Amino acid sequence: MERLDIFLTKKLATSRAQIQKLIKSGAVTIGGKAATAHTLVREGDVVVHPPLSKPTKKKALTVDIPVIYEDDDVLVIDKPAGIIVHPMNETDKRTSVIGSLVPSRPALKKVGESKLRPGIVHRLDKAVSGVMVIAKNNATFEDLKRQFAERKVEKEYVALVYGRMAKDLGTIDFKIARSKTLGRMVSRPEGQEGKEASTEYEVVDRFKTATLVDVKIHTGRTHQIRTHFKAIGHPVVGDMLYHTKIVNIRPIKMDRLFLHAKRLSMTLPDQSRKTFEVPLPEPLMQILANLPRV
């Protein structure tokens, strides 16, 4: 003799929880009578149950990714804000850049060091939009990785930060490290542990409560721009992770981060130096158009 739920779990090779749910619904009978999970199954009993439906695999949603340049070696895209670049693990079914590109370019699956991030040589945060390059073969993958590591790729962003920047030009050189208590990156003053990071900025426009800046990063640390501008008291508008309440400044309402990767320069496999640029998305342009000036 054996309990009904245990008997069916073994027989149908499924979870005990699923079997108990099936029994509780009244769909399982023994000898024509409704049974419970605790009902004992004896030799010769006729157990009737409906067929179990096979679980369907949840597929990640895809979106159209604007392509601004493509050849046999590289794919250059305008990444939309709000989607991740690649899944974190095999069960991560969020919409991603890679998940949206691979169906039409299956050869990408064989590029790089991980099947989760094929062809990816650099990343943009989920909330950031703008230009990205993806390698289409392993030779290009290794070459672009080297260029990023040797800081031969020029990266330029545009950001709207809170407050009025005192200087028109400047460089932020705080080290960056992951906080053990805050769950995010933090800037560290000289003398403390952290990775070297350098962020250069130039003021493009000034508003009553915010400043528009062009930003060049000479290192590629996680959340570098967001961390550095928070450290000097000018957090990026729309940043809910590195936000700081600033006295006498009303938050600017927006559903994304005002940070856009506008330009990327690199050397392609044919040794030509190329610069790719994408304009500010329309929603960000609208934010600027509606900001009060002094």
Q: Which residues are catalytic?
A: 125
With residue 283 as reference, give the H or E element that holds it: helix 282-289
Round to whole Å and give the CA distance between 37 and 23: 6
Token pair for residue 65? 């990714």
Round to whole Å and give the CA distance between 141 and 247: 47
Q: Please check whether residue 197 is in contact with residue 173, taking contact to mean a CB–CB distance below 8 angstroms.
A: yes
Q: Please check whether residue 202 is in contact with residue 213, taking contact to mean a CB–CB distance below 8 angstroms.
A: yes
- The helix, strand and coil proportions of the chain, stated in percent and rounded to the nearest 5, come to 20, 30, 50
Q: How far is CA 183 from CA 125, 175, 209, 244, in A?
A: 16, 17, 29, 16
